[in-house]
Amino acid sequence: MAVVLVRNWWALALRGALAVLFGVAAFVMPGLTLVVLIALFGAYALIDGVLAIVAGVKAAERHERFGSFLWRGVLGIATGLVAFILPGATAVVLTLIIGAWAIVTGVLSVVFGLILVVAPGVGILTLVWIIGGYAVFFGLIMLTLAFRLRARHLRNALGTTG
């Protein structure tokens, strides 16, 4: 595994650079970033819904329980379609769901959850910025790792160790 990482350091560098670019875009163009995130969520929900229905049909063919698969599939497809048809409402609903989840999960996240529930508009922007900050941080870590692996790759190519 380590040899594969060392040889392909450039792939980590590319991934890191793309993450940094995405993170910067989240801060510079939060509206566009939100639209992209909602579109990705919608696509995921649609694909997950279709795959759940396929699993349900296959389970029914084997005379196994299939109702929950079909139900999840229909809900997934419906959710994906709503995300594409009503992206603004989807953003608000997702923000409210994340806010409620934050309130339920812990003391430190209660304040964050209350902000999301009480002021979803501010919450949406906050979520985009949090995702952007994470992407920049993650990207910089990936770039650091990539260039350390590159140095190791060069040392290995020259036949030196250490």
Question: Hey, how many other C-beta atoms are within 10 angstroms of the C-beta on 18?
Answer: 13
In this predicted structure, the answer to whether residue 162 has a pLDDT above a threshold of 60 is no
The residue written with tokens 């919450």 in the block is 123
pLDDT digits (tens, 9 = 90+) for 89-110: 999 888 888 888 888 887 778 8
Helix (H) or strand (E) holding 40: helix 30-61
Confidence tier at 121 by pLDDT (50, 70, 90) = confident
Radius of gyration of the chain (CA): 21
**What tokens appear for 141 in the block?**
């870590």
Tell me how far apart the alpha carbons of residues 75 and 83 are, in angstroms, rounded to a whole number.
12
**Phi and psi, residue 57, nearest 5°:** -65, -45
pLDDT of residue 112: 82
Task: Tell me the residue type at 5.
Answer: L
Q: What is the pLDDT of residues 22-67, one digit of tens each?
A: 999 999 999 999 999 899 999 999 999 999 999 999 999 999 999 9
- Kindly tell me if the per-residue pLDDT of 2 is higher than 80: no
What gap in Å lies between CA 136 and CA 20, rounded to an integer? 4
Q: Which residue has the tokens 């509206």?
A: 31
How far apart, in whole angstroms, are the C-alpha atoms of residue 76 and residue 45?
5
Instruction: Output the six-digit token pair for 46.
Output: 């649609």
